Structure 1
């Protein structure tokens, strides 16, 4: 069995995989361009997902399984994958710790007025006129109640927040005081001090949030997007900030990435921009490869209870 990596992994991880699976042939490359020559012999492809298209998938005539070392799978050629019945798994869940920490730290940054104090420090200015606020006891609404959303809710409980989840199914999830379906979102938005989206990009979620949603929110509300940038049109979000429909937006994902230097988002004091790093962690690759190895053990044994199976018809 040939296991082909188009995703770059360190020498340390390469060595560990080869030692753990001495009977398998590993081919490690650093890009799809390098991997392309080996696609025809690959039974398993390990990728970040963004480099795989219909043309190079067609060359992978022996492919049985695609392991995506990220959570996002929206760029995969799902039509061909479904037609060929290729197994797809991803690394969903490995981001929960760092993305939850990012979310809480950014909410604190806004409420504790940290931007202002950093600027004051730069100019040696002793300014006690600022009035920091508390996130304690606020209401948090999270779009998406999977591993990341649940971890955000769990930490929010340390600040005694009311936690409301919104999901496709609306089924109860631990650490959420309430969970509602997407159809009920409009009813819960007026309660939100913080609205956090961890939603993936699917046909159901693209441009889900519209002006009407921001109008329903408190003018003091903070919106955080760590899911995907196509959840809301950039112009709609910019208008919501400029017209004070909400107080602040914390954005780690954008419709266009990298965010262009001339984007008005950079200049808005009530928008915090970060470069799609909320999921970054020194433990990222180790956690992703743990999922891969667990699934590889099952794959070798012919078992089918894989972690994080992706449904090509739903796109997640």
Structure 2
């Protein structure tokens, strides 16, 4: 069996895979262009999911399984994969720790006014009149009550926050004080002091946060997007920030990445930007390969139904 990876991987991880599965043939590359030289006889592919096209897929006639080493699938040729009945699994769940820490980090940054404090430090100003706040007693709305959202909820409640989650079904979950379905979105927005967007990108969620939704939020509320830029109508968000419909936002993802230098977000004083880094961690590959090796063992045993994070093509996740 021939397995190739288009994701850059350390020699340590490469050697561990070869030692664990000595009978399998692994090829490790740093790009999908390099993978194409071995494409004809590949059975298994590891990828981050943003480098596979219909054309490239057509050059892999023996491909049976793709392990995506990330959670996002919005750039995958899902229609072609479904047509060929290729098994796809992803790394859903590995982002819970870093992305929840990012979310708690920006909320703490906001309420403790660390940005203002640092600006004063640069000017050597000692000012104890800064009006700080607490997370205790605040309400957090999480749009997307999946693995990442649930880890955010768990940590937020340790800080004494009340947490409302939104999922497709609205089924109650123990980590949340309440869970609503899509019809409950206006209520979640109206009640929340912080709103974090962490839903998957699907046709149903595309630009789900637009002018109507931002107007439904509290004027003192903070919006955080760690999902995908395309879930947000960015023009509406710019207007919401300029006209103070909401107090501030923290954005880690954008419709166009890298964010163009002339984009209005850069110049807004109530907008904080990070370069799609909320999921980064020195343990990322370790966690992703843990899912891959679990799945690989089951794949070799023909236990396809036991593989983790199998993708439902009709749902897109």
TM-score range, shorter chain: over 0.9
Q: Which runs of 5+ in 1 are unaligned?
A: none
Partner residue, 1:37: 37
Q: Give the alignment's TM-score, normalised by structure 1.
A: 0.98
Contact 1:109/1:115, CA 8 A, preserved across alignment: yes
Q: What SS class does the counterpart of residue 145 from structure 1 fall into?
A: coil
Give the superposed CA RMSD: 0.8
Q: What is the alpha-carbon distance in structure 2 between the residues aligned to residue 160 and residue 170 of structure 1?
A: 23
Pairing 1:106-185 to 2, within 5 Å after superposition? 106-185=106-185
Q: What SS class does the counterpart of residue 133 from structure 2 fall into?
A: coil
Displacement of 1:285 in angstroms is 0.3
Q: Give the alignment's TM-score, normalised by structure 2.
A: 0.98
Q: What is the alpha-carbon distance in structure 1 between the residues aligned to residue 198 and residue 281 of structure 2?
A: 17
Task: Work out the number of aligned pairs and report it.
Answer: 316
Partner residue, 1:187: 187
Contact 2:211/2:233, CA 8 A, preserved across alignment: no
Contact 1:150/1:174, CA 8 A, preserved across alignment: no
Per-residue CA deviations over 1:215-262 (Å, capped at 9, x if unaligned) read 111100000000000111111001111111110101000111101111
Contact 2:90/2:311, CA 8 A, preserved across alignment: yes
Partner residue, 1:62: 62
Displacement of 1:152 in angstroms is 0.5
Displacement of 1:171 in angstroms is 1.0
Q: Which runs of 5+ in 2 are unaligned?
A: none
Contact 1:95/1:279, CA 8 A, preserved across alignment: yes
Contact 1:226/1:278, CA 8 A, preserved across alignment: yes
Contact 1:82/1:313, CA 8 A, preserved across alignment: no
Per-residue CA deviations over 1:172-211 (Å, capped at 9, x if unaligned) read 1221011110122112221100100111211111101111
Pairing 1:1-316 to 2, within 5 Å after superposition? 1-304=1-304, 305-316=306-317
Q: What is the alpha-carbon distance in structure 1 between the residues aligned to residue 127 and residue 187 of structure 2?
A: 40
Contact 1:137/1:161, CA 8 A, preserved across alignment: yes
Q: What is the alpha-carbon distance in structure 2 between the residues aligned to residue 177 and residue 128 of structure 1?
A: 35
Q: What is the alpha-carbon distance in structure 1 between the residues aligned to residue 215 and residue 270 of structure 2?
A: 17
